[in-house]
């Protein structure tokens, strides 16, 4: 099997009673090992969906049904390692984000080893999203594929519809467990096994058929009482205390500031409740964060030891951030919103693209491996790189940009929603997405230009006779 260095992401899930407008929200930073790996935003129409699928990395072959749904997708631009679709919303308003790389332990590997010729992150959206009509059905389809083909890596996968959010984690080569996220709750999931308390007999859980028996047969439960899947199947390593747990801690600190935790705690809760209703802007802030207002902020005033101690959520290896929102209280034709931004998340904004379209704007669709500021991926990456050279110098530009841009996007969205509710044809959604793309591209270009103009006056390479 071709070796692909794994990336590492951060996931946020928000139930419909925890969000400000009654939407379900699943979101993730799609991070890679390398700083740059161009991505596209596309729509896969039924005619374009493969019927005979073969993975590039593992070579696994999967025969697919002949009735796929249309879906949005965020594939790699360079297909050396396969498509890697990352996330999308299908034409039945079901969303999927795949994957969050997670952890395991040697006890699991001794029972159910990984399958070199099995499924992996490269494959999952393509094999599942076009064929599901609810979030729970997504769990069931993926579970059956894992049982049949196995997997060569541990992953967490999110599914949502307008009513439910489900989170599935793979266990060993063929096993898995999933939990429905309570409507009034949120989750921040880093690169570790995240599900903790688990009741095999509850209505809000699903698992591979023999998972409960597996725990008993091989004496896997280290706890005297209860079933905690993170304790049983996950890890509690030194790396978790600096790479994973602090990210969950910061997200929980932001959404639930009155609860005190240690950033290195191995038992930070999976299911959490915020002290307010959560907005898209809140989710974007956390997915862009670097431990702001703590001594661990890489751009802050802490010691060098503190600033480099923990892995931040926002990082140079963010290739995209997607926030998949399935709205209630609007017509089904406009329920699915695929919020999207490219590049490191410190100097970009998410754009609320309508999912019910058959094509996407060129600025978001056509990026390839050649640097080109006409493509949003490269424009966003360039802005983030310049911002990183002197964060304090440029952050006010970023803040003004984000506030004004998000307001402009929401105005386009509000006008489009109103038109649809007043009987306009859904064909206007494609035009609305073009407006959103043009607005985003214009504002991102202006941000970069303002930063270049202002920053040029502060270059070290300067000389003035009056100095």
Kindly state the tokens that stand for 355: 């999912």
147 SS3 class: helix
Burial class (CB in 10 A: 0-12, 13-18, 19+), 234: buried
How far apart CA 232 and CA 281 sit, in angstroms, is 35
**Alpha-carbon distances of 176 from 98, 121, 227, 253, 434, rounded to whole Å:** 15, 15, 15, 29, 40
Nearest CA to 46 out of 68, 29, 16, 31 is that of: 68
DSSP symbols for 164-214: -EEEEEEETTTEEEEEEPPTT-EEEE-SS----B--TTSTTEEE-TTHHHH
How far apart CA 30 and CA 121 sit, in angstroms, is 11
How far apart CA 157 and CA 26 sit, in angstroms, is 10
How far apart CA 386 and CA 199 sit, in angstroms, is 49
143 SS3 class: helix
Kindly state the tokens that stand for 298: 């890489």
How far apart CA 309 and CA 410 sit, in angstroms, is 37
Residue for token digits 């059905």? Answer: 137
Q: Note if 9 is an active site residue.
A: yes
How far apart CA 30 and CA 11 sit, in angstroms, is 9
- C-beta atoms surrounding 46 within 10 Å: 13
Which helix H or strand E contains 239, and what residues bound it? helix 238-239
- C-beta atoms surrounding 396 within 10 Å: 10
Which position among 9, 119, 185, 211 bears the catalytic label?
Answer: 9
**Alpha-carbon distances of 292 from 48, 254, 261, rounded to whole Å:** 43, 10, 16
48's CB contacts (< 8 A; 6+ apart) are: none
Q: What sign does the CA torsion over 442, 447, 448, 449 have?
A: positive
- Paired strand residues for 76: 39
Q: Looking at the annotation, which residues are catalytic?
A: 9
């Amino acid at each position: 099997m071709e070796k692909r260095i794994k990336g590492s992401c951060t996931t946020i899930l928000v139930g419909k009673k925890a969000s400000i407008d009654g939407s379900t929200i699943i979101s993730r930073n799609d991070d890679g090992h390398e700083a740059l790996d161009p991505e596209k935003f596309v729509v896969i129409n039924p005619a374009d969906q493969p019927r005979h699928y073969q993975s590039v990395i593992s070579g696994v072959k999967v025969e697919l049904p002949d009735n796929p749904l249309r879906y949005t997708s965020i594939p790699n631009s360079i297909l050396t390692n396969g498509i890697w679709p990352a996330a999308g919303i299908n034409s039945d308003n079901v969303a999927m984000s795949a994957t969050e790389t997670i952890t395991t332990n040697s006890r699991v590997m001794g029972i159910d080893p990984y399958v070199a010729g099995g499924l992996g992150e490269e494959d999952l959206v393509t094999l599942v999203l076009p064929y599901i009509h609810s979030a729970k059905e997504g769990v069931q389809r993926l579970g059956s594929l894992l049982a049949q083909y196995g997997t060569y890596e541990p992953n967490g996968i999110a599914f949502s519809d307008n009513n439910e959010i489900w989170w599935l984690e793979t266990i060993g080569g063929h096993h898995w467990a999933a939990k429905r996220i309570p409507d009034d709750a949120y989750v921040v999931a880093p690169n570790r096994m995240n599900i903790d308390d688990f009741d095999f007999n509850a209505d809000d859980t699903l698992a591979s058929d023999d998972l409960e028996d597996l725990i008993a047969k091989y004496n896997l439960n280290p706890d005297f009482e209860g079933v905690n899947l993170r304790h049983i199947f996950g890890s509690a390593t030194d790396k978790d205390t600096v790479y994973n747990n602090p990210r969950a801690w910061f997200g929980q600190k932001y959404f639930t500031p009155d609860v005190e935790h240690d950033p290195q705690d191995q038992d930070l809760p999976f299911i959490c409740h915020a002290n307010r209703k959560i907005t898209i802007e809140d989710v974007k802030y956390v997915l862009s964060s670097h431990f702001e207002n703590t001594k661990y902020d890489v751009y802050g005033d802490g010691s060098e030891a503190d600033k480099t101690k923990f892995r931040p959520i926002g990082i140079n290896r963010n290739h995209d951030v997607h926030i998949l929102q399935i709205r209630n209280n609007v017509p089904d034709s406009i329920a699915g919103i695929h919020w999207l931004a490219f590049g490191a998340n410190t100097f970009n904004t998410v754009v609320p693209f309508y999912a019910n379209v058959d094509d996407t704007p060129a600025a978001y669709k056509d990026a390839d491996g050649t640097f080109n500021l006409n493509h949003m991926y490269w424009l966003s990456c360039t802005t983030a790189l310049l911002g990183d050279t002197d964060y304090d110098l440029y952050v006010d530009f970023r803040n003004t940009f984000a506030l004004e841009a998000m307001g402009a996007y929401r105005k386009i969205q509000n006008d489009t929603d109103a038109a649809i509710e007043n009987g306009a044809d859904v064909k206007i959604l494609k035009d609305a997405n073009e407006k959103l793309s043009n607005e985003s591209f214009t504002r991102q270009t202006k941000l970069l230009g303002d930063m270049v103009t202002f920053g040029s006056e502060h270059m070290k390479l300067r000389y003035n006779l009056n100095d």
